[in-house]
Structure 1
Amino acid sequence: TQAQCDARFDVDIVSYMNEVAAFLGKAATTQNQFDALVSFHYNTGKIESSTLGKLHKAGDFAGAQAQFGKWIYNDGKPMTGLKNRRADEAKLYGTA
């Protein structure tokens, strides 16, 4: 049911938030950056191994923002939905 899906999401998203927070440690991060990174991690599960995450931790925010657009493929094919999602995440990431 929708209620079950919503309840599961509420539990799952906390895990993803905690994983991103643990990965970032004390790295400078705005709320919008954090939210975009959680969305990215929720969809990919790759915050720790991604160049995007590593660039963010290193303080290269422009480089990290540019990385969102590289995560648009499913089975080697660019997907419109992923292009849109990554563009939205990149925009949020870059918003003060």
Structure 2
Amino acid sequence: MNLRHKIAIGAVTGVLGMTGALVSWFEGRSLVAYLDPVGIPTLCEGVTQGVKLGDRATPEQCDQLLQRELRIALNAVDRQVHVPMPDTRRAALGSFVYNVGEGQFSRSTLLRLLNAGDVRGACAQLSRWVYAGGKQLGGLVNRRAAERELCEVGL
């Protein structure tokens, strides 16, 4: 199944489903904690908070963590964005916040442009967020391209 198909299926369940499809596709799932590309212990679909090497999770625990983290990311988007937006844009931004965190999002040019009404400029900013530890990562390039495409739906 390709990403477009997963997002389309996710759309049936709304923003949470679309966001989950994006996050799951790009994060993958690991039931054993590992170090991400910048050395942060990570578990399930990119969960880092409170994770240490050696931690393990069941698929059910990963499902619960994913749902919790998706809600946290989407709530952050809802708190920070002060302009109306379609579900596709909200899902794209939810995936972005899931990955970079609310703090980075709240200080971003992307958010400033979006709240100023420059939606096209805001969505274009996603393409700049492709570095981790000072290195451009192919996975982030692909993820941001997908997020940007979803962000720009309807423009």
Greater radius of gyration (CA): 2
Q: Which residue of 1 aligns with 2:79?
A: 22
Q: Which has the higher helix share?
A: 1
TM-score (ref. length: structure 1): 0.93
The alignment partner of 1:95 has SS state of: coil
The answer for unaligned runs of 5 or more in structure 1 is none
The question of whether the paired residues in 2 share the 8 Å contact of 1:73 and 1:82 is answered with yes
After TM superposition, list the pairs within 5 Å mapping 1:41-80 onto structure 2.
41-45=97-101, 46-80=104-138
One-letter amino acid of the structure 2 residue matched with residue 6 of structure 1: D
The more displaced of 53-62 and 85-94 is 53-62
C-alpha separation in 2, matches of 1:53 and 1:2 = 34
RMSD: 1.0
Q: Which residue of 2 aligns with 1:82?
A: 140
TM-score (ref. length: structure 2): 0.59
Q: Which residue of 1 aligns with 2:60?
A: 3
- Higher relative contact order (Cα pairs below 8 Å, separated by 6+ residues): 1
Q: Which has the higher strand share?
A: 2
Q: Which runs of 4+ in 1 moved over 2 A?
A: none
Percent of aligned pairs sharing the same letter: 38
